[in-house]
A and B are shown apart, each in its own frame.
Chain A
Amino acid sequence: AQSVTQLDSHVSVSEGTPVLLRCNYSSSYSPSLFWYVQHPNKGLQLLLKYTSAATLVKGINGFEAEFKKSETSFHLTKPSAHMSDAAEYFCVVSDGSGGYNKLIFGAGTRLAVHP
């Protein structure tokens, strides 16, 4: 069975400093991995996706993530945080084994950005 663990429930950074949100996955085969962001009272917006191409994936709004098979990790980073980055972030693995596109969500990481 596939699973996702987000290692931090809350992360707090100052504006202009780097962001690191950690995610580990468990998968019996080559996974498809995503990061989504959810701002208050909004739906989930796709930040980036890994689907077995390049291991360093660039997404929207300056975010990127690196797929490391040896560490079963898919951490999300951004060089410089902006106030508008404050939101909930979900690491997600896609499990297609049941004949449909089932998303397995991590518990989420709440990112706070301070001036």
Chain B
Amino acid sequence: DTEVTQTPKHLVMGMTNKKSLKCEQHMGHRAMYWYKQKAKKPPELMFVYSYEKLSINESVPSRFSPECPNSSLLNLHLHALQPEDSALYLCASSQEPGDRQPQHFGDGTRLSIL
């Protein structure tokens, strides 16, 4: 069982749809992350939140919009996605921004764009 919970597990959407991915952790971690993972590749960092504020955006297209409503929740809002955005989206958290401790990952949302 993972301590980082992601919903939904699977999502199929059309290119004109708007949907959101949700991530929740109750470990008191103050840093949270979104990653994108394509098949047979390592995860690629998208966004970093430190103390509920966006601190890093790795040049992600604006059709991906992150949000951190509180210290336990992280959302990723999706709009007008492209077929190449189909991937596994992983959320992770770590105790403090800037430390070098491991990140804890959720099981991800498998996203398919039609």
Q: Give A contacts to B, CB under 8 Å.
A: 32, 34, 36, 41-46, 49, 51, 90, 94-96, 98-103, 105-108
Contacts and interface: CB of A to CB of B under 8 A. Distances in A.
Contacts of B107: 41-43
B43 to A, nearest CB: 6
B101 to A, nearest CB: 7
Nearest to A6: B42
Given A41-B110, A43-B2, A44-B90, A103 B101 contact: no
B104 A94 contact: no
Contacts of A96: 98-100
B42 A94 contact: no
Nearest to A49: B102
Interface in B58-114: 90, 92, 94, 96-108, 110
B55 interface: yes
Contacts of B43: 44, 103, 105
B50 interface: yes
Nearest to B99: A101
Nearest to A30: B100
B87 to A, nearest CB: 13
Contacts of B21: none
Query: Which of A46, A95, A105 has the largest number of chain B CB atoms within 10 A?
Result: A105
Given A32-B101, A100-B55, A100-B98, A43 B45 contact: no
A74 to B, nearest CB: 14
Contacts of A90: 42
B48 A100 contact: yes
